[in-house]
Structure 1
Amino acid sequence: MLPFKKVSKIYFSPSGTTKRVVDEIAKNFELDNENYDLLSFDDSVNFDDELVIVGMPVFDGRLPKMARDRLSQLKGNNTKAVAVINYGGLGYGDALLELVDLLKENNFDVIGAASTVSKHSLFNEIASKRPDNLDMKMLNEFSQNLIEKLESGKTNEIFVSGQKPFADYVNHSFDVKCDENLCVYCNDCVYTCPVEAIEEDNPIETNLDLCDNCSLCINICSENARSFDGENYFAEKENAMENDMSRKEMEFFM
């Protein structure tokens, strides 16, 4: 029998794919779920008698800075945790090590970790059909292994890929375009932007000094009016498409 009654899911998922991965893992435990969406949740919380599953996307081999800052406010009490990073098929750098280290620093007991693959959030042609059926099967197997480990009471140190010092954050400075002919001024992008880079009286424009290119406004737009644009974006896309595009498999650490 599992030693807790609920699963707390913590995630930062502008494109929705990291949340999907966390949800898939969590459902196997058949426990009540509590959600902490770091796109909107910015507060201090202490976790105790529960399992915590933390899912983060990878931005240039690092955890997104906003997500890291908000996660830093969440503390455990030797609380069991699963660390999951989700990347777009090019590589995950040191992000998994960064996440595991952060959780340990905040007094979480990391019992398992995973690097998972989903469609690239900036360049959608990369890993476009991921996660696929094989990925989902592997996630469910990982979940069952976690359940067996928890029921057995086994404890061990988790070692994951990555090295320190972590690389500096990269500022892409991509333009964000909004097609006035498609925009219906619903203001969904205004109300959900985590850095308040879009003003209610002029949602066509994006304040690029505030924007961190998380892609939430693009993914949430029901009219497909918003997209990345500009010389920097297309140059980086071309460079990304020239990288190794072979299939990257999910990795699991227990």
Structure 2
Amino acid sequence: MIINNIVFSPTGGTGKIAGVLCESLSDGGEIRTIDLSDPFVNESDLVLDPAGLSVISMPCFGGRVPALALERLQKIDPQGSKSIVVIAYGNRAYDDALLELKDSAEKMGFDVIAAISAITEHSIMHQYATGMPDLPEVDALKKFAEEIKEKMQAGANEPFEVPGNTPYKKAGSVPLVPKVTGNCVSCGECARACPAAAINSEDYAANKALCISCMRCIQVCPKNARSINKMMVSVAAKAIKKACMEKKDPELFL
């Protein structure tokens, strides 16, 4: 069985979780990756084999699925294939994101058979969930994969619910837009890597209307020439500190 690894992972954390699940589900078989964080993804690759299993993995931004990620997901023709939806979050909460992703996938025509929430290092405030996913979480994800395979082998397809509310919580604004510093050597790596194509190739400034604050440009810059407002990050970190201090566990919904 082909495993379709459909992932939006600007800084790699969601991708790590998706990778563990796909490897565990594939039993050494073929894994086909569709990187929705690539603004130049080939649309000819977006028609799925109905006999395959899709693992749809996305990060949680402020309790919601990034709108850009859902927009790209909706270009895929699922052909009624079975799927697992996965939300990765930085140990605060995933709020309505898992429900939103499940709802979106089902409306598209995916047959959603399981849902997973998992913890990854916070992409902005790295002091939260540092180093996640760790070995215990990886082991939990592998166990989840085995439970999902058992459900598929049994032919079970009962409806299930996930946490969240409708209408979904209001998506927040994006105040943390990375800026160019004096270390920039105009290599253009940030502009090429930006999932939202928000960085121009002249002065490498980010378009505030397009930037989704995913922090990929900061991660890929070879000269550490992009930064965000440290005072705003400090204020945001204090606001979520209490919610982030208690280590969360990954969850499986079948």
Same-fold call, TM cutoff 0.5:
yes
For 1:88 and 1:111, the matched residues in 2 are separated by 24
1:9 aligns with 2:5: yes
Match of 1:136 in 2: 138
Cα deviation for residue 230 of structure 1 reads 5.7
For 1:175 and 1:6, the matched residues in 2 are separated by 38
Match of 2:241 in 1: 241
Match of 1:87 in 2: 89
Instruction: Give the 3 Å change call, closer, same or farther, for CA 218–8 of structure 1 in structure 2.
Output: same
Match of 2:186 in 1: 185
Over the aligned positions, Cα root-mean-square deviation in angstroms equals 1.8
Of the structure 1 ranges 229-238 and 45-54, higher mean CA displacement relative to structure 2 is found in 229-238
Cα contact 2:128–2:244 (8 A) shared by 1: no
Structure 1: gaps (5+ residues): none
Deviations 1:117-174 (A, max 9, x none): 0001111111112111100000111111112222222221121111100112111322
Q: Secondary structure at the match of 1:82?
A: strand
Instruction: Give TM-score, length-normalised by structure 2.
Output: 0.91
Cα deviation for residue 192 of structure 1 reads 1.4
Q: 1:167 aligns with which of 166, 169, 186?
A: 169
* Percent of pairs with identical residues: 31
Cα contact 2:178–2:215 (8 A) shared by 1: no
Match of 1:36 in 2: 34
Match of 1:123 in 2: 125
Deviations 1:47-66 (A, max 9, x none): 21201000000011100010
Cα contact 1:175–1:230 (8 A) shared by 2: no
For 1:22 and 1:197, the matched residues in 2 are separated by 26
Structure number with the higher strand fraction is 1
Structure number with the higher helix fraction is 2
User: Quick one: which amino acid aligns to residue 37 of structure 1?
Assistant: D
1:195 aligns with 2:193: no
Cα contact 2:191–2:199 (8 A) shared by 1: yes
For 2:78 and 2:109, the matched residues in 1 are separated by 5
For 1:97 and 1:89, the matched residues in 2 are separated by 17
1:224 aligns with 2:249: no
Cα contact 1:14–1:219 (8 A) shared by 2: no
For 2:144 and 2:107, the matched residues in 1 are separated by 24
User: Quick one: which amino acid aligns to residue 34 of structure 1?
Assistant: R
For 2:138 and 2:243, the matched residues in 1 are separated by 25
For 2:193 and 2:9, the matched residues in 1 are separated by 12
Give the aligned length: 248
Cα contact 1:110–1:158 (8 A) shared by 2: no
Deviations 1:84-117 (A, max 9, x none): 0000000000110111111111111111110000
